[in-house]
Amino acid sequence: MFNHRSLWHKALDASAWRHTMEYPFHKIEPKWQKTWQERRIFSPQEVPGKPKYYVLSMFPYPSGVLHIGHASNYAIGDAISRLKMMQGYAVMQPMGYDSFGMPAENYAIEHNSHPRITTEENIASMRSQFDSMGFGLDWEREVSTCRPDYYHWGQYLFKKLYEKGLVYRKRSFQNWCEACQTVLANEQVDEGRCWRCHGEVNQKELEQWYFRITDYAEELLDFSKMIDWPERVIQMQRHWIGKSEGTRIDFPLQEDGSPISVFTTRPDTVYGVTFMALPPEHPLVQKWLAENPQDTALRAFCDKVINEDKISRSAADTIKEGIFSGRHCINPLNGSKIQIWITNYVLMDYGTGAVMAVPAHDQRDFEFARKYDIPIQVVIQNPEQNLDVATMEEAYIEPGIMANSAPFDGMDSEAAKEAISKLIEEKGYGQVSSSYRLRDWGISRQRYWGTPIPVIHCPSCGVVLVPDEDLPVELPENVQVGKTTSNPLLSVPEWLNVKCPGCGGDAQRETDTMDTFVDSSWYYARYADPHNSTQPFDPAKASYWMPVDQYIGGIEHAVMHLLYARFIGKFMRDLGWLEADEPFQRLLTQGMVLKDGAKMSKSKGNVVDPSYIIQKFGADTLRVFLLFASPPDKDVEWSDDGIMGAYRFLNRIWRLISGNRDAIQRGLQISVSQQDLEALDAKDKELLYSTHQAVKKWLDDSLQRMQYNTAIAAVMEHLNHCTAIKDPSGLEGAALATFASACRSIPLMLYPFAPHIAEELWEMMGYTQLLHEVGLPQYEERWLTRDLITYVVQVNGKLRGKLEVAPDIDEEELKTHALNVENVQRTLEGFVVKKVIVIPNKMVSIAAAKG
């Protein structure tokens, strides 16, 4: 907590109490939270014709403790939400819990309890912490992914995907985390380690369920439907999908003519193929192994490579190794005989899982060929320096002039790419195609605490989907969590063994559960109709609320969650459940809260507990600090002094308004004419100008730019102007009215950031409406421009004087004035004026040369 200073611990010391600044946030905050809740202002209904605004912050895993990062994240969402409420939108800001998954299971093991119990306890505890922050969340729409009424529809969605051919099962080598005892999707492996526990990941052959996200690869590359997504996230997704265009070519095997398919982006190098590279996992290799059990050298090599962990195998600097298979295939273009090698550097799950190796023009193939003395054939000549196989030290990967490529010799290689592809298609050797880095999404997890996959395995019928009327397939309760080494659901026979819905014979349930990213890939739509018990949601309600107007979450979800959610969103659209092509119109990736430059974590011992801050300084202080410290998409550096600054700011406001309560109330009753205002003396008129300017800046920063730090700065600046008025109670007439209306704007501008104190001050001024009903503060154009404008005068780019003139001054007159400024005259001595440039309302710039 506050370990580098102990100042505030003294704040609770009674002897020092009387001098400590203090506004009654302890009373105010619960009061308004209760009022909001009673009046249900955060539970919007669908009102046809009323514009809606859907603000969604990524739902948390219910750890039981509200972290400062949550506070920061949801403070941003709440600011947007309340701003939109002031603007008159029907605002929905729901909240729920991503409550399935390993952490919940591990937490229960740790506490020797059941995840259902610990999860519900944690949810209750988080709920009260959310409320103590004063977030405007619609709890009537709460969802929790681990409850049967939610995962029922996840199972239903699985069935729909299955029926549309987007689910399949495949036996293959998987990323296996030994610590978590489960498989991981490729996206969940980070530098060869588990994204959650950072344990080592190795390869295990398993049968797994997959979602065919690759069917949507092309559409997922279309980002044109988003209004405002960070370019960074789009780039990351684009790169993750990794489309490359090229050609698929079939190389017939010498022995029986059956084809080996390769994918290449360099069809122009096809005459330079000198060997074929296959990974040990390739089906052909597996077939050869099965047919020739006596080939121990091949067997040993394959076993070794497959069992090598993925980190070292996939690292770019791993030494390339291979073994000659003893077999050959034929290059269909020139009939040459090509050796087939089994290697450790080809990936089974990219392209076709086989590579035509062109050592002269691919660095990896080059290294391999040099190591094993495989011939190298130059087919693209470097126009600047002739390539010689004998002396080449690296592959030549640039374009050049075709050589040793029969009919294409002398052609430019870029042109040859197309010509050769065309020839390949004409002759039926292959076809032009695209390949994606994106893999299908493996959703099976060998864990207990997840959505059961609604499938029954029947010895005679095979895979049978659980009928709709039997959904949800509920998780059994009596599982010895943490006590099983294999799939936990296998240990519950009364759940496991069922009758086949097809033939009525003995059958077994699927014991894998779904990746929790499945749960979070459609929750945004469930919020539109969270209690529907006959379908995932009513499409009519979804049509009102969807898409999400503003989605907020961490950059860590740039690829996984956001890509999966887009995929399922598009699928639900294709089913006719949703109308929008994209579920999230705008995306804000908020920054992290750092302390001492590092992410807060228990292990580093630099965690700040938000409830401690709320208790000492109030939720409004915490929110103002978090929003003021930096723009929403940047990291926030935690600062104890910064908290004090925010607290001081709110106290100053409190003193200003509560201290001048009567004057303000009186001033608000006075009706003033335009003439009265025009006649104000300079000091009071200045307050009028600065009020309108502050409101304008505030509106701009908070609504257009979503830059709350500067919006709050505008309020602070405005406060400074208000407190500069020394004796407000002595004011009267238009001057008092001006002061009162300057003060009146403060709660309005504070509301999205510090809603409790804002409501209290508003009430103190004698108003009875809640602030979101009042609407946004307004400004008038007239009071943005002062009677006199200050022009800066520059000579050759340097500030040489200032000029106070009327806003409607004639340009020529202004130039004359500028040239006559004393200091300007002095600077211009010995110079000839070449040009005078006027920037309206800002400056006069004089270009002069020695003369």
Partner RNA sequence: GCGAAAGUGGCGGAACUGGCAGACGCGCUGGACUUAGGAUCCAGUAGGUUUUUCCUGUAGGGGUUCAAAUCCCCUCUUUCGCACCA
Q: Which of residues 538-577 bind RNA (CB under 7 A)?
A: 555, 559
Using CB under 7 A as the binding rule, whether residue 432 contacts RNA is answered as: no
16 touches RNA (CB under 7 A): yes
Closer by beta carbon to RNA, 111 or else 705: 705
The CA–CA distances, whole Å, from 114 to 97, 107, 482, 772 equal: 17, 9, 10, 43
Contacts 24+ apart (CB under 8 A), 334-339: 334/271, 334/406, 336/273, 337/254, 338/251, 338/273, 338/274, 338/275, 338/276, 339/274, 339/275, 339/276, 339/374
Candidate residues 497, 769, 820, 823; the one interacting with RNA per rule CB under 7 A: 823
Tell whether the torsion through CA atoms of 719, 722, 725 and 729 is positive or negative: negative
In the range 275-334, which residues lie near RNA by CB under 7 A?
279, 313-316, 318, 320
- Residue 507 beta carbon to RNA: minimum distance, rounded to whole angstroms: 38
Q: Which of residues 177-196 bind RNA (CB under 7 A)?
A: 190
Interaction of residue 631 with RNA, rule CB under 7 A: yes
Max CA separation in the chain (angstroms): 107
Restricted to residues 390-419, the positions that interact with RNA (CB under 7 A) are none
Q: Which of 692, 697, 815, 817 binds RNA (CB under 7 A)?
A: 697
Does residue 121 interact with RNA by CB under 7 A? no
Binding to RNA in span 786-815, by CB under 7 A: 790, 792, 794, 796-799, 802
Say how many C-beta atoms besides its own lie within 10 A of residue 588's C-beta. 20
Q: Is 637 in the site for RNA (CB under 7 A)?
A: yes
Cβ-based nearer residue to RNA, 644 or 670: 644
Whole-number Å distance between alpha carbons of 722 and 686: 10
Q: Using CB under 7 A, pick the residue from 1, 47, 300, 347 that binds RNA.
A: 347
Mapped onto helix, strand or coil, the DSSP state of residue 28 is helix
Kindly state whether residue 598 participates in binding RNA, applying the rule CB under 7 A.
no
Least separation in angstroms between residue 423's CB and RNA is 17
Nearer to RNA, 90 or 838 (CB): 838
**From the list 44, 77, 246, 442, which residue makes contact with RNA (rule: CB under 7 A)?**
246
The Cα-based distances of 144 to 154, 158, 523, 527 in angstroms read 12, 18, 9, 11
Bridge partners (DSSP) listed for residue 550: 55, 586
- State in angstroms the smallest separation of the CB of 843 from RNA: 6
Position 636: which residue type? Answer: V
46 burial (CB, 10 Å; 0-12 / 13-18 / 19+) is middle
Question: Which member of 72, 155, 651, 691 binds RNA (CB under 7 A)?
Answer: 651
C-beta of 415 vs 598, nearer to RNA: 598
Binding status of residue 346 toward RNA by CB under 7 A = yes
- Phi-psi label, residue 406: left if phi above 0, alpha if psi -120 to 50, beta otherwise: left
Between strands 401-402 and 380-381, the pairing is: antiparallel
354-383 residues in contact with RNA (CB under 7 A) are 355-356, 362, 364
Contacts 24+ apart (CB under 8 A), 783-788: 783/688, 783/689, 783/691, 783/692, 783/693, 784/689, 784/692, 784/693, 784/696, 785/841, 786/689, 787/685
Among 239, 287, 683, 782, binds RNA (CB under 7 A): 239
In angstroms, give the least distance from the CB of 532 to RNA. Answer: 36
- 648 forms part of the interface with RNA (CB under 7 A): yes
- Choice from 113, 325, 611, 710 touching RNA (CB under 7 A): 710
Q: For the segment 250-279, give every residue that binds RNA (CB under 7 A).
A: 263-266, 279
User: Which token pair is 766?
Assistant: 């004698």
The Cα 303–Cα 433 span in angstroms is 32
Is residue 623 close enough to count as binding RNA by CB under 7 A?
Answer: no
Residue from 231, 727, 781, 829 in contact with RNA (CB under 7 A): 231
Closer to RNA by Cβ: residue 108 or 706: 706
Sign of the CA dihedral with 797 first, then 798, 799, and 804 last? negative
When binding is defined by CB under 7 A, the residue of 35, 325, 484, 630 that contacts RNA is 630
Kindly tell me which residue out of 411, 496, 703, 713 binds RNA, with binding defined by CB under 7 A: 713
* The dihedral formed by the CA atoms of 806, 812, 814 and 815, expressed in degrees to the nearest 10: 170
Contacting RNA within 655-694 (CB under 7 A): none
